[in-house]
Amino acid sequence: MKCQKCNKPATFHITELAGGKPQELHLCEDHAREYLTSSGGEPAGGGSIAAAFHQQMIQQMAISQTAEELAVLDQQTCPVCGITFFEFRSKGRLGCPHDYECFKAQLEPLILNIHGASEHTGKSPGRCPRGSQNRTRLIRLRREMKEAIEEENYERASELRDEIRRAET
């Protein structure tokens, strides 16, 4: 069924009692939001049940909007290791140190909630940080080599393979 005000699919079906007769409205999400908010916070018909229904509809729309935002966020990908935010959410592990920067806006509230702070205050590893940079570079090179093979760009893949061998030694 289509929205009565546009050609989008109707996802909200509202029945109002106007003058003792039921009146059905079939609206898309945008027009339903407009309809419910333009009625001054309380739909026609008044009463606490109508107000409660109105609040429930607004909450449902907010949840669906959040789900849409999450679906867009799940497609965000780290340019170094190629992990998506969806993979992080499902596995609970990041792919490389650059993910902390790539997903910073989403990870910071999570880290604050878990640890109570977003800065490390304990000991740091004694070994050189250059090792982690080299590992990150190897991850990126392997991912690029895999993509080159998938694209059947074998010359680029062999160049990357040689670069990986040099980096490993």
- Please give the mean pLDDT across all residues of the chain: 78
Helices marked H in 46-153: 47-74, 85-91, 99-102, 104-115, 130-150
Task: Report pLDDT digits (tens) over 43-69.
Answer: 444 445 556 666 666 666 555 556 677
- List, for the chain, all residue ranges whose pLDDT scores fall below the cut of 70: 38-67, 124-131
- Selection from 78, 75, 111 nearest residue 96 by Cα: 78
Does the model's pTM come out above 0.95? Answer: no
